[in-house]
Amino acid sequence: MHKFKVIHTIKEVRQCIKEWRKEGLSIGLVTTMGYLHEGHKSLIDRASEENDKVVVSVFVNPIQFGANEDLNTYPRYIERDAKICEEARANLVFNPESKEMYFEDAATYVNVEGLTTGLCGAKRPGHFRGVCTVVSKLFNIVTPDKAYFGEKDAQQLAVIKRMVKDLNFNIEIVGCPIVREKDGLAKSSRNTYLSVREREEALCLNKSLKKAKEILTKGETYSDKIRKTIEEEITKVPSAKIDYIEIVDSLSLSPVEKIEKSVLIAIAVYIGKTRLIDNFTFEKEK
Amino acid sequence: MHKFKVIHTIKEVRQCIKEWRKEGLSIGLVTTMGYLHEGHKSLIDRASEENDKVVVSVFVNPIQFGANEDLNTYPRYIERDAKICEEARANLVFNPESKEMYFEDAATYVNVEGLTTGLCGAKRPGHFRGVCTVVSKLFNIVTPDKAYFGEKDAQQLAVIKRMVKDLNFNIEIVGCPIVREKDGLAKSSRNTYLSVREREEALCLNKSLKKAKEILTKGETYSDKIRKTIEEEITKVPSAKIDYIEIVDSLSLSPVEKIEKSVLIAIAVYIGKTRLIDNFTFEKEK
The ipTM, to two decimals, is: 0.95
pLDDT value, residue A286: 64
Residue A285 banded pLDDT, cuts 50, 70, 90? confident
Q: How far apart are CA B32 and CA B92, in angstroms?
A: 13
Cβ-nearest to A140 among B107, B115, B168: B168
Best of B115, B165, B168, B250 to mutate (most A CBs within 10 Å, chain A): B168
How many CA within 13 A on the CB side of residue A34? 22
Instruction: From chain B, pick out residues whose CB is under 8 angstroms from the CB of A140.
Output: 167-170
Residues B249-255: what's their mean pLDDT?
95
pLDDT value, residue B284: 81
- Which residues sit opposite A110 in a β-bridge? B110
In this model, does residue B285 exceed pLDDT 80?
no
Inter-chain CB proximity A252 and B105 less than 8 Å: yes
Output the average pLDDT for chain B: 96
Residue B280 banded pLDDT, cuts 50, 70, 90? very high
The answer to whether the beta carbons of residues A167 and A136 sit under 8 Å apart is yes
Residues B174-178: what's their mean pLDDT?
98
pLDDT value, residue B3: 86
Strands A240-249 and A262-271: antiparallel
B8 catalytically annotated: no
Inter-chain CB proximity B252 and A113 less than 8 Å: no
pTM: 0.96
Q: In degrees, to the nearest 5, what angle opens at C-alpha A77 toward C-alphas A73 and A83?
A: 160
pLDDT value, residue B2: 75
The letter for the amino acid at B142 is V
What is the DSSP track for B149-166?
A: EETTSHHHHHHHHHHHHH
Question: How many other CB atoms are there within 10 angstroms of residue A252's CB atom?
Answer: 14
Q: How far apart are CA A245 and CA A212, in angstroms?
A: 11
pLDDT digits (tens, 9 = 90+) for B88-133: 999 999 999 999 999 999 999 999 999 999 999 998 999 999 999 9
The answer to whether the beta carbons of residues A10 and A96 sit under 8 Å apart is yes
Question: How many other CB atoms are there within 10 angstroms of residue B262's CB atom?
Answer: 13
C-alpha distance from residue A10 to each of A93, A101, A102, A137, B167 (Å): 12, 8, 11, 10, 12
Residue ranges of domains in chain A: 5-176, 189-281
- Among the listed residues A275, A277, A251, A250, the one whose alpha carbon sits nearest the alpha carbon of residue A264: A250
Quote the minimal CA–CA distance from B186 to chain A in Å. Answer: 30
pLDDT value, residue B1: 63
Q: How far apart are CA B152 and CA B125, in angstroms?
A: 20
pLDDT value, residue A284: 81
Best of B17, B23, B29, B109 to mutate (most A CBs within 10 Å, chain A): B109
**CATH class of the domain defined by B189-281:** alpha beta
List of residues 6+ apart from A154 with CB closer than 8 A: A264, A266, A279, A281
In this model, does residue A78 exceed pLDDT 80?
yes
pLDDT value, residue A162: 98
pLDDT digits (tens, 9 = 90+) for A182-195: 999 999 989 999 99
> How many secondary structure helices (H) and strands (E) does chain A include?
10, 10
- Which residues sit opposite A264 in a β-bridge? A248, A281
pLDDT value, residue A28: 98
pLDDT value, residue B286: 64
Nearest CA in chain B to A252: B105
Inter-chain CB proximity B137 and A111 less than 8 Å: no
Q: How far apart are CA B36 and CA B281, in angstroms?
A: 24
C-alpha distance from residue A267 to each of A204, A205, A232, B203 (Å): 11, 8, 13, 63
Residue A1 banded pLDDT, cuts 50, 70, 90? low
Inter-chain CB proximity A111 and B114 less than 8 Å: no
| Chain B residue set in contact with A, beta carbons under 8 Å | 10, 14, 103, 105-115, 132-133, 136-137, 140-141, 143, 162-163, 165-170, 252
In this model, does residue B201 exceed pLDDT 80?
yes
The answer to whether the beta carbons of residues A153 and A124 sit under 8 Å apart is no
Q: How far apart are CA A35 and CA A31, in angstroms?
A: 12
Residue B54: φ, ψ to 5°: -130, 130
pLDDT value, residue A3: 86
Instruction: From chain A, pick out residues whose CB is under 8 angstroms from the CB of B31.
Output: none
Quote the minimal CA–CA distance from B163 to chain A in Å. Answer: 6
C-alpha distance from residue B28 to each of A21, B47, B49, B147 (Å): 20, 6, 10, 6
Strands A262-271 and A274-283: antiparallel
Inter-chain CB proximity B107 and A10 less than 8 Å: no
Residues B17-33: what's their mean pLDDT?
96
Residues A52-70: what's their mean pLDDT?
95
Residues A37-62: what's their mean pLDDT?
97
In this model, does residue B249 exceed pLDDT 70?
yes
List of residues 6+ apart from B141 with CB closer than 8 A: A168, A170, B10, B13, B14, B94
**CATH class of the domain defined by A5-176:** alpha beta
Residues B260-283: what's their mean pLDDT?
96
Inter-chain CB proximity B106 and A166 less than 8 Å: yes
The answer to whether the beta carbons of residues B60 and B33 sit under 8 Å apart is yes
Instruction: From chain A, pick out residues whose CB is under 8 angstroms from the CB of B10.
Output: 168
- Which residues sit opposite A271 in a β-bridge? A240, A274
DSSP A125: T
| Chain A residue set in contact with B, beta carbons under 8 Å | 10, 14, 103, 105-115, 132-133, 136-137, 140-141, 143, 162-163, 165-170, 252
List of residues 6+ apart from A146 with CB closer than 8 A: A26, A27, A28, A29, A47, A50, A51, A171, A172, A173, A174
